Amino acid sequence: MSAAGDPTARPADTRPVIEARDVVLSFGETPALRGASLAVAAGEVLAIMGPSGSGKTTLLHCLAGILTPTGGEIHFAGNRVDTMTETQRSVLRRDRFGFVFQFGQLVPELTAEENVALPLLLGGTRRAAALQAAGTWFERLDLTGLERRRSGELSGGQAQRVALARGLVARPEVLFADEPTGSLDSLTGEHVMDLLVGAAREQGTTVIVVTHEPRVAVYADREVIVRDGKVGSFSVTGVGP
């Protein structure tokens, strides 16, 4: 099969940083993934698309070590993720992965600055150093002056940019973004995607984004389609800034 017809295909000289091989997972009697395979190169921005209930978010969660498949394999940087203990997967998610979710999921009791610093604090960075590192993101993401505000005092777009900073502050190897613009209007969503892709490319972070919106997928280097729990055809899309 040619590269154009193989969703697991990748450049011959580039080993994948993360890969799913024939992944199977069911919720009770309902199959979510039915032999899904996918390979993502280091530094690639990949969009996973598909209709509601297709299994795209489940695939993302398996790749991130949040869910453990009942069949198949998940590999990250040469290691099997699906055979790790929960403690090992937790350390992996804390130290090497970053996450951005649809509604930001900021901790309401913390200020914006503390929310951004949270991954560093959990990783053992001293508070002063973690807050200093977090503070550098506020000007970068057009959030200057909002450092001490809590989530309830931020607009949707501001909160999502804080969540983006939190996902990238620890310089993760892979950033997983699940419908990162789903709760935003079109203009704000485009602004968030501009910032997400620009910051990730600057850091060399691999990005895997689940979306049902073509206007989000256009920022990716590559797009795959999940249907009925399998990864189908893909197309090369335009690359955002």
Which residue intervals of the chain are DSSP H helices?
Answer: 56-63, 86-95, 112-122, 127-140, 156-168, 186-203, 214-217
CA pair distance 82, 199, nearest whole angstrom: 29
Query: pLDDT digit string (tens) for 181-234?
Result: 888 888 888 888 998 899 889 989 999 999 988 999 999 999 999 998 999 855
For residue 115, pLDDT beyond 90: yes
Quickly state the pLDDT bin for 1 (edges 50, 70, 90).
very low
Nearest to 135 by CA among 116, 151, 153, 122: 116
pLDDT tens profile 23-45: 999 998 889 999 999 999 999 99
Q: Categorize the per-residue pLDDT at 8 as very low, low, confident or very high, splitting at 50, 70 and 90.
A: very low
In the chain, where the domains are located: 1-94+212-241
* Confidence check: pLDDT of 13 > 50: no
Assigned CATH for 1-94+212-241: 3.40.50.300
d(CA 25, CA 36): 9
Would you place residue 240 in the very low, low, confident or very high pLDDT band (cuts 50, 70, 90)?
Answer: very low
pLDDT tens-digit map of 138-172? 988 889 999 999 989 999 889 989 999 999 999 99
Model pLDDT for residues 66-95, shown as the tens digit of each residue? 999 999 999 999 899 999 999 999 999 999
55's torsion region: left (phi>0), alpha (psi -120 to 50) or beta?
left
The DSSP element (H or E) to which 232 belongs, if any, is strand 230-235
Of 91 and 236, which is predicted with more confidence?
Answer: 91
Question: Residue 29: what pLDDT?
Answer: 87
So what's the pLDDT on residue 6?
A: 52
CB 209 within 8 A of CB 181: no
